Amino acid sequence: MPTQQHTKPESLIRLPEVMRRTGRGRTAIYTDMAAGNFPQSVSIGARAVAWPESAIDAWITERVTQATGNAA
């Protein structure tokens, strides 16, 4: 019988949680997103967006790495 690997589905987080995790405000997030310096949001409804949790975590890790001068 073949073994199946179960992968955890990608979690999506909404703007208030993104702001809490990154310490950035709404305007800074959308400005940096437009400039390509912040992960892009994904549409989850007609008037709702969210961010892949892994993309936000990677963005935070990259900032910490840059600040501490450590290679990832």
For the chain, the domain total comes to: 1
Q: Which of 6, 26, 10, 16 is nearest to 58 (CA)?
A: 10
7 in any annotated domain: no
> Residue 29 belongs to what domain range?
12-68
Q: How many Å apart are CA 47 and CA 28, to the nearest integer?
A: 20
Question: What digits encode the pLDDT tens for the residues 4-20?
Answer: 666 778 899 999 999 99
Question: What digits encode the pLDDT tens for the residues 49-71?
Answer: 999 999 999 999 999 998 888 75
pLDDT at residue 1 in the model:
55
3 in any annotated domain: no
CATH number of the domain residue 38 falls in:
1.10.238
| CA 39 to each of CA 1, 22, 49, 54: distance values in angstroms, whole numbers, following the listed order | 40, 12, 12, 10
pLDDT at residue 2 in the model:
57
| pTM listed for this prediction | 0.81
Question: What digits encode the pLDDT tens for the residues 15-46?
Answer: 999 999 999 999 999 999 999 999 999 999 99
Sheet of strand 42-45: strand arrangement: 12-13, 48-52, 42-45
